[in-house]
Amino acid sequence: MPTFDDLKQSCADDWRAYCQHEFIRDLGADTLAKDAFRHYLEQDYLFLVHFARAYGLAVYKSRNITDLRRALASLKAIVDVEMGLHIEYCAGWGISESDLKTLPEARATMAYTRYVLDAGNRGDLLDLHVALAPCLIGYAEIATWLNAQPFVAHEGNPYASWIAMYASDEFQAAAAGEKAWLDEHLAAVTASRFAELSTTFRDATRLEIDFWQMGLDRRF
């Protein structure tokens, strides 16, 4: 029976390149350029908008009340809580809410968010969750990995609060819940179906790599 860990293993090199990207290493070591982080934060706001749309799609794609409630809770958390927190966090970096509302989308932002929505539209709820997994579960793994690295600067690092946010018990629990949901649903798929899902997961992971690179290069 396949699990989420099997999805990661199916694209182990890409997963490592994503979770240990230069952007992440520089962020942890406090060597990341401030304007690179600001560019990432701005585009991450736009990503959140489409992330919310994806969970709206998950509500529609749900075939039982349990999945529907789960998707609705995630949608409400993004719209009612996370977006407000992100706007507040951006303000601390000199990015106003009005700035965020008039931002152009970088190509990397468009590529990953539209890929997720397309995966959900053409597939089922599992396809959508697999396409979203690199973000939710990946960020939790990145924070855990960073906290275990000797090169990470915890004192005086302006990015320490970003690491702490994704290392928090709340976020780690959300990622663990998503992983458990995926394990449960992957256990029922055939080998050919798992191969399809692995392709989706690999492509989504590669697009997440491009998102980090977009931030590093300050690229639109």
Q: Is the Cβ–Cβ distance between 131 and 113 less than 8 Å? A: no
Tokens 């055939």 -> residue: 190
The interaxial angle of helices 125-147 and 34-61, nearest 10 deg, is 150
What's the first-to-final CA gap in the chain, in angstroms? 41
Q: Calculate the CA dihedral of residues 82, 102, 120, 64 and round it to 10 degrees.
A: 40
Residue 75's identity, in one-letter code, is: L
Rg of the chain's alpha carbons, rounded to an integer?
A: 17
Most distant CA pair in the chain, distance:
50
Q: Which residues are catalytic?
A: 135, 208
Region of 174 please: left (phi>0), alpha (psi -120 to 50) or beta: alpha
